[in-house]
Amino acid sequence: MRKPGPHAARAVVALALASGLAACAPTAPDATTEPTDASGVPDAQAEVTEIVSLSAPIPGYVDVVALGAAGQVDASTNGQSLGAVTLIADEDGTLIASISSPIVGAQTFCLADQCGRVYVTDPEAQTPEAAAEVAQTALDEVLAGTGAATTFPDWTFVVGSQMSGVGGTTDAERRIVTINATPGRTHEEYVLTVRHEIGHVIDVEAMDDALRAEYLAIRGLPPDTRWSRGAGEHPTGDARWHYGEEDFAELVATLMSGGSHVPRDSDFAAAPTRGELEQIRELIDPDGTLASLWG
Ligand SMILES: [Zn+2]
């Protein structure tokens, strides 16, 4: 998903939800009526060609910026229908809406067949600042305990915002690991996220296609297992883990936890045996260069 544009930060107007959920209208003159903006709210079927951004600056609501034609469109989150929602056109034709989500936490939010990930916060949850502090503490702890920042000097490890809808991201091109500060997550959850993302860093720095093929063989996965998710794919639920690179990142997290972390993709590949773990550590780090990571 692209970074939220300038529109994403704006409070957007209300929309009617066929499901009867309350609509949020922080700046609308009258939240109980349809917007009276000249851009109008056509009854027509909306056409969503692309979701530009999903964000959740207001607890309980998803702010959408999309491209296409304004009107009504079916929305859902984690497969749960939200009924028809209205997308209105901004001055420049961009479609916007603020949609109440009944789900708190990470979710796959869809308008028709266009989907993206977003994290919706609970109004009762901790503040973003408090979450950032917990995330930073966990990140510092893992980096200090493993020497990862020294082992990977080209990489930058930062705490990001709660907006992206995932625990963390590893940008291989810019060599930046971002740990997303999301209210409600625990210290232990952040530690796991940091270890998982370090797995992606190792994938970039230490693995090649031959080693990846060996890895799949050790894990008992078919040789044609897809290593990475393709652009524009938005797998939901457990399917998000069903790629070689995600299994690999989970196994690195397991190695970094001294074997205590059970990979979260258990219906993709069985939890590793102690022998498999040892083989994988040997594959990743044959000369012990990364020894400080393994605790
Ligand atoms: Zn991952």
User: Can you give the length of the chain in residues?
Assistant: 295
- Residue 171 Cα to ligand 1 midpoint, Å, equals 11
pLDDT per residue as tens digits for the range 107-154? 999 999 999 999 998 867 788 889 999 999 999 999 999 999 999 999
- Evaluate if residue 233 carries a pLDDT over 90: no
- Domain ranges for the chain: 6-120, 128-294
Q: Which fold has domain 6-120?
A: Immunoglobulin-like (2.60.40)
How are the residues of the chain apportioned to helix, strand and coil, as percentages rounded to the nearest 5? 30, 25, 45
- Residue 250 Cα to ligand 1 midpoint, Å, equals 8
- Residue 198 Cα to ligand 1 midpoint, Å, equals 9
- Picking from 33-47, 128-142, 181-195, 230-244, which range would have the lowest pLDDT averaged per residue? 33-47
Name the more confident of 31 and 50. Answer: 50
**Residue 66: count of CB within 10 angstroms of its CB:** 24
Q: What pLDDT was estimated at residue 6?
A: 38
pLDDT per residue as tens digits for the range 176-186? 999 999 887 88
Decide the pairing of beta strands 71-77 and 80-89.
antiparallel
- Residue 260 Cα to ligand 1 midpoint, Å, equals 18
- Residue 102 Cα to ligand 1 midpoint, Å, equals 26
Residue 4 is which amino acid?
Answer: P
Strands (E), the chain: 47-55, 61-69, 71-77, 80-89, 95-100, 105-111, 114-120, 156-160, 168-171, 176-180
- Angle, helices 209-218 vs 244-256, to 10°: value is 70
- Residue 197 Cα to ligand 1 midpoint, Å, equals 6
Take residue 216 and report the two structure tokens written for it: 């799949």
Q: What pLDDT was estimated at residue 126?
A: 80
- Residue 211 Cα to ligand 1 midpoint, Å, equals 18
Environment class of residue 19 by beta-carbon count within 10 Å: exposed (0-12), middle (13-18) or buried (19+)?
middle
- Residue 53 Cα to ligand 1 midpoint, Å, equals 20
Q: What pLDDT was estimated at residue 237?
A: 74
Q: How many helices (H) and strands (E) does the chain have?
A: 6, 10
Q: What pLDDT was estimated at residue 180?
A: 92
- Evaluate if residue 35 carries a pLDDT over 50: no
Counting residues of the chain whose pLDDT is more than 70, the rounded percentage is 84
- Picking from 4-13, 217-226, 235-244, which range would have the lowest pLDDT averaged per residue? 4-13
- Residue 166 Cα to ligand 1 midpoint, Å, equals 9
pLDDT mean across residues, the chain? 83
Q: What pTM does this model have?
A: 0.62
- Residue 262 Cα to ligand 1 midpoint, Å, equals 15
- Residue 200 Cα to ligand 1 midpoint, Å, equals 7
- Residue 118 Cα to ligand 1 midpoint, Å, equals 16
Q: With cut-offs at 50, 70 and 90, classify the pLDDT of residue 165.
A: low
